[in-house]
Amino acid sequence: MVKLEKLTVEYQHNPIGIDTAKPRFSWKLVSEEKNVLQTAYQIIIMKEEDIAWDSGRIEDSSSVLVEYNGEKLTACSLYNIRINVWDNKGNEASIEGSFETGLLKGTNFQAKWISHDFPEEETACPIFTKEFQLTKEVEKVRVYATSLGVYEIKINGEKLGDTFFAPGWTNYNKRLQYQTYTADQLLDGQNEIQITVGNGWYKGILGFTCTPNHYGDRTAALAEMHITYKDGTSEIIGTDQSWNVTTGSIRSSEFYMGETIDSCFENAPIKKAVNADFDNNRIVAQESEPVRITQRISAKELIQTPRGETVIDFGQNLVGFVEVSLKGKRGQKITLRHAETLDKDGNFYPDTLRDAISHDHFICNGEEQTFRPHFTFHGFRYVCVEGMEDIGLDDFTACVLHTHMEETGTFTTSNPLVNQLQSNIQWGQRGNFLDIPTDCPQRDERLGWTGDAQVFAGTAAYNMNTALFFTKWLRDLASEQTAELGVPHVIPNIMGQQEGAAAWSDAAVIIPWVVYQTYGDKRVLEDQYESMKGWVDFITSRCGDNGLWQSGFQYGDWLALDKEESADRTGATDKYLVANAYYAYSTNIVRKTAEILQKNDDAKTYGELYEQIRNTFNAEYITSTGRIVSETQTGCILALHFDLAEEKHRERIAKSLETNIANHKNHLSTGFVGTPYLCHALTENNLHDLAGTVFLQEDYPSWLYSVKKGATTIWERWNSILPNGDFEESGMNSLNHYAYGSIGDWMYQKLAGINPLEPGYKKIMIKPQFIKGITSVQASFVSVYGQIVSEWSCVDNKITVNVEIPANTTAVIYLPEQEQPVEVGSGTYHYEYETTTTLEKQRFSFDSTLREILDEPLAVAIFNEHAPELMNNSLIEFAYPLTISEMLANASAEGKPLFEMVIDQLNQQDKIHGESNKVDASK
C-alpha cells in the first residue's frame, strides 16, 4: 500500500498568485513497506473542464520539482492538479491539488500608482481609501497589491491575510514583489477598502547612520480587486486618482524606532490621492513565504529592577513585537521599551540596540483595547513598561515574527547544554530570517550581510526549508551585482559602492550550491549561473601576475580571537590566504555547476582555472615541506576543508591544526570564516575526538560558554557577555547573531550522521559518529522526499541505532564500530549490538592539567615506572598549570601513548570507585 502526501507547486501547497511560466510539482510517497520506489507517474492539469497538460504515464522515479510542460498558462486562472503514481510493489496512488496564477507580469496591472502630497514633516502613515457599491452576488474575489513602503489592506475594517511587511525588501531599483489575497469581507451594498502604507525599507530609517529615503522619499500604493460575480460577469476596482488619502491612528512607524498608535486621533483631513510613477516591468509575484506571527509567547516574569524599572521577561530572546490588552484612561500613554538583556545588576540594558530606539507608544481611548504594532519589529527578551500601574502578565504576549518557512529539522542529545545550543541556533534563525537573512534583528543595522548568510546556509537548510527564501534573496543579489564591483557586502545594498570581498560575496556561488544539494533544485543553478560565474570572473580580473587575488579590502577571518581586535577585527590569518581559498572553492563550484548544466566549454575553462588556483595557492601559501604560511586554526582549516593542500601535506597541516588547538587549551580561536568548518576539518582528518572536545568546551571561548551564561540565541561574539557579567563594549555586540550557529550542520551531518549522497537526498548517507560527553542523539530532517531519522545511543555496553528512510530513496548506513556499510531502501531499521565503548564524560582527559594528573598516586606510580625522568625533572613544577594537550603540543609524539595509558587507568580507577560508592550507598 502506498499513498501520496504533500503535493506542492513551487514548494507551496495549493498556492495562489503563481507567476512562474513553468511551475514544478513535488509529491511524497508514504508506505509502511520497505524498499519502495516510484516507477512511473502521470500529471494531469485541468483548467476548468479543459486539459492544460497530460504528461501521460512517464516511466521515471522523479517526484521532486517535475516541470510543467503544457499549454501556456493564462493570468488569474485556477488550475487543478491530479498526480497518479505507480511503485515497484504493484501499487497505485493519486493525489489532487491546485494552483492559481497571478497577473503573470507587472505590466498586467490595470490599476494606477497613487501617493499623497503630505508635507515632508508628516510622520503618520497614509491611508488610501475607496468606497464602492456591490449590487450583485459575489462568486470570488482576488486582490493584487504592492507598495513603495510596507502595507496592509483592510476591507470593511478587516485586514486581508495574516502577513506582515509586504511587499518585502527587494532591490526596488530593479525588483518589487506584489501579493495576491483572497477576500471574503465584501458586503451587499456599501463597502470600503483601505490601504495603509508605512515607510518600511523603502523610505524608512536604515543603516549605520540611521538615514531615511534609501529608495525614495514618498510612499505609494498599487492595488486592484478582481470581483467575479455569480452571474458570470466581473469587474476590477483599482487604485487611481479617485481614491482618497488621509491619516489615522498610526502616527509614526519605523523599523528601528518603533511605532506610535494614538487611538484618540480623529478628524484628519481627507485629500485626493495623487499620481505616482514606478516602472511596472520591475514588478514580480511574491517569491518566498511571507512574514507571519509563527508563535505567541506568554510573559514569564514581572521584574522590578534595582533602578525601579518595571520589566517583563518573556524568557526568550526573540524577534517580533508585544501585543498588550488593557483598558486605560482616555489619553493615557503606554510605552514599551525593548532590550535583549538585563545587566549584571538586574537593570534594563538596551545598549546592544545602539541607536535603534525600539519604543512602541500606545495612547488609550478609555475602552477595552488590544494594541500591537503594524510596521515595526524588535529584537528583545525584556520589555520595560512605562505609563501603567496595574500590570497583569496575562495581558502581555510576545508575537514571534519571521518568514514562515516549514521547520524541517530536529536535533536532541543526552547533553542538555547541546540541546540548548540547538535551540539557540534555531531561535537565531527565526529572528534573522525575516524576509531577508539579516545579521542581527535588534540594533540599527538588520542588513542582509552576505557573509553571515553564506556561512550559515547549510545549517539553515537543516532547520527550515529555505529554498524559496534563498531563491528570492539570490535574485536580489544578482540584481545588485556588477562586473565593476562584483557582489555587494549586503543585499539589498544600501551601503553604496564597494568592491566585493571574499567569503561575503562568495554567497553568490555557495548558497545556490547549498540549495541545489539540499533540494535537488537545478533551476536555482540555472537562474543564478551568470551571477555565480560573474563573481569568479570578477576575482579573476583582480588577480595579479601570479594568478592570485592579493589586493583590495578583505574581512579576513572576521572577529577571530587570534589577533588584537584594535588592529582591524580581521583575525591573524593572512586575509589574502582566505580570499584565495574562497576563490578556489567558488571556482570549483562553478565548474561543477557548469557540468550539471551541460555547459561543457565552461566546465573545461573553470576546471582548468581551479587547478591553476589550487597549484598557485600551494606555491604561495604552503612550503615544500607542508608548512602553511598562516599557521592559524583558520589557515589550516581552509587548506584542509576546501581540499587545497596536496595530499602529501595534509597530515602535517592537520598536525599543525591539532597543535594550535592544544596551545589554546583545546579551545577554538576562529572567527566568521574558520568557525563553520572547524569541526568538519577535524572530523574529516581523523581528529573527530578533538572536534568533540572543542565542541563541548564550556568556558570561554566556546559554543557552550554562551549557553552557560544563559543565552537563548547565538551571540555575535564569543564573549558578548564577559565571565564577570560585564558586556563586551566594542559598540558591536549583538546577542542574536546567527553566524556562529553554523556549527549546526556539523551536528546534523557528523553527530547525527544525516547527509545527502545525491542532490535532494535522493540517496542518503547515515553515518553517526560518537564523541565523549554525548551518549545519545535523536535527529530528524524532512527532506523533499520525506522524513529522514537517525537516532543512536551508546550506554551500558550497548549501541542502539534507529534509522528511517523515506520512500522513493535509498541509503547507505555506516553503523558505529562496524566495518562494512549497509545499503538499504526505504523503511525503518533497528540495530543493536554490544560494545566496550563508554561515552560518558570522564573525570580525566587531555584537558586535565598536569597538576590534576599528578595529584593521583596511581599516575605518579605509572610515571615512576615508565618515565622516571619526568618525575625527576627539576622544572616539572612549571608545567603543573599546563593541560596535557598543551604539554604534548610542543613535545615529541612518543609521550602521547604514555599519557593516554595514564588517563585511561585513572578513569578506570575512578569508575571502580564510583561503582563501589554506589554499592555502599545502597547498603
DSSP for 209-240? Answer: TTB--SS-SS-EEEEEEEEEETTS-EEEEE-S
d(CA 640, CA 680): 10
Compute φ and ψ for 459, nearest 5 degrees. -65, -45
Query: Whole-angstrom distance between the N-terminal and C-terminal Cα of the chain?
Result: 57
Annotated catalytic residue within 716, 791, 856, 886 = 716
Catalytic, 499? Answer no
Query: Which residue's C-alpha cell is 511524497?
Result: 28
d(CA 469, CA 726): 37
Compute φ and ψ for 527, nearest 5 degrees. -65, -35
Query: Which residue's C-alpha cell is 522515479?
Result: 61
3-state helix/strand/coil string of 604-623: HHHHHHHHHHHHHHHHHHEC
Please, are residues 468 and 10 in contact by the beta-carbon 8 Å criterion? yes
Residue 136 host element (H or E): none
Q: Is the peptide bond before 167 cis (omega within 30 degrees of 0)?
A: yes
Which candidate, 609, 610, 661, places its Cα nearest to that of 635? Answer: 661
d(CA 64, CA 70): 18
Catalytic, 651? Answer no
Annotated catalytic residue within 100, 445, 480, 856 = 445
The DSSP bridge pattern shows strands 176-182 and 283-285 to be parallel
Burial class of residue 709 (count of CB atoms within 10 Å of its CB; 0-12, 13-18, 19+): middle
d(CA 77, CA 103): 9
Residue 838 neighbours by CB under 8 Å, 6+ apart:
none
Please, are residues 581 and 639 in contact by the beta-carbon 8 Å criterion? yes
Residue 380 host element (H or E): strand 378-386
- 602-640 in b/e burial notation, b at 16+ Cβ within 10 A? bbebbbebbeebbebbbebbbeeebebebebbbbbbbbb
d(CA 85, CA 39): 8
Compute φ and ψ for 73, nearest 5 degrees. -70, 150
Please, are residues 298 and 383 in contact by the beta-carbon 8 Å criterion? no
Q: Is 162 helix (H, G, I), strand (E, B) or coil?
A: coil
The edge-to-edge listing of strands for the beta sheet with 244-247 is 158-159, 150-155, 189-198, 126-134, 244-247, 271-272
CA-to-CA dists, residue 354 to 351, 358, 494, angstroms: 5, 10, 19
Which candidate, 797, 788, 790, 780, places its Cα nearest to that of 832? Answer: 797
In the chain, how long is the greatest CA-to-CA distance? 104
Length of the chain: 923
3-state helix/strand/coil string of 550-600: CCCCCCCCCCCCCCCHHHHCCCCCCHHHHHHHHHHHHHHHHHHHHHHCCCH
Name the residues annotated as catalytic.
445, 716
